Amino acid sequence: MITSSSQTSVAVFALVILHAGALDTFTAAVYEHAVLLPKETETPVSRDDALLLMNKNIDILEKAIKQAAEQGAQIIVTPEDALYGWKFSRETIFPYLEAVPDPEVGWIPCQDPHRFGHTPVQARLSCLAKNNSIYVVANIGDKKPCNSHDSRCPPNGYYQYNTNVVYDMTGQLVARYHKYHLYSEPQFDVPEKPELVTFNTTFGRFGIFTCFDILFHDPAVSLVKDFHVDTILFPTAWMNVLPLLTAVEFHSAWAMGMRVNLLVANIHHVHLNMTGSGIYAPHAPKAYHYDMETDLGRLLLSEVELRPRDSPTYPAAVNWSAHASAFRPFPGRKNTFKGFISRDAFNFTELSENAGNLTVCQKDLCCHLSYRMSRKEENEVYVLGAFTGLHGRRKREFWQVCTMLKCKTTNLTTCGQPVETALTRFDMFALSGTFGTEYVFPEVLLTEVHLSPGKFEVLKDGRLVNKNGPSEPLLTVSLFGRWYTKDSHFISGGISNLETTNLLISTLLMIIALQIL
- With 0-12 / 13-18 / 19 or more C-beta atoms within 10 angstroms meaning exposed / middle / buried, residue 186 is middle
Point out which residues pair with 70 in neighbouring strands: none
Point out which residues pair with 280 in neighbouring strands: 262, 285
Point out which residues pair with 398 in neighbouring strands: 390
> Cα(393)–Cα(496) distance, rounded to whole angstroms?
18
Point out the catalytic residue in the list 143, 179, 286, 406. Answer: 179
Q: Is 211 a catalytic residue?
A: yes
Backbone angles phi, psi at 89, to 5 degrees: -100, 175
Point out the catalytic residue in the list 127, 153, 211, 366. Answer: 211
How many CB atoms within 10 Å of residue 322? Answer: 16
The separation between CA 332 and the C-alpha centre of its own chain, rounded to angstroms, equals 37
Point out which residues pair with 387 in neighbouring strands: 401
> Cα(299)–Cα(306) distance, rounded to whole angstroms?
21
Q: Is 80 a catalytic residue?
A: yes
* SS3 per residue for 364-410: CEEEEEEEEECCCCCCCCEEEEEEEEECCCCCCCEEEEEEEEECCCC
Sheet containing 277-280: give its strands across: 198-201, 204-208, 231-236, 261-266, 277-280, 285-289
Whether 65 contacts 58, CB under 8 Å: no
Point out the catalytic residue in the list 80, 195, 305, 350. Answer: 80
Q: Is 415 a catalytic residue?
A: no
Dihedral (Cα; 268, 271, 273, 277), 10-degree rounding: 10
- Output 220-229 pairs: Cβ under 8 A, ≥24 positions apart: 220/254, 220/258, 221/258, 221/439, 221/484, 222/194, 222/196, 223/196, 223/197, 223/198, 224/258, 224/259, 224/260, 226/196, 227/196, 227/198, 228/309, 229/198, 229/205, 229/260
Whether 481 contacts 437, CB under 8 Å: yes
First to last CA, the chain: 102
Among all residues, which ones are annotated catalytic? 80, 179, 211
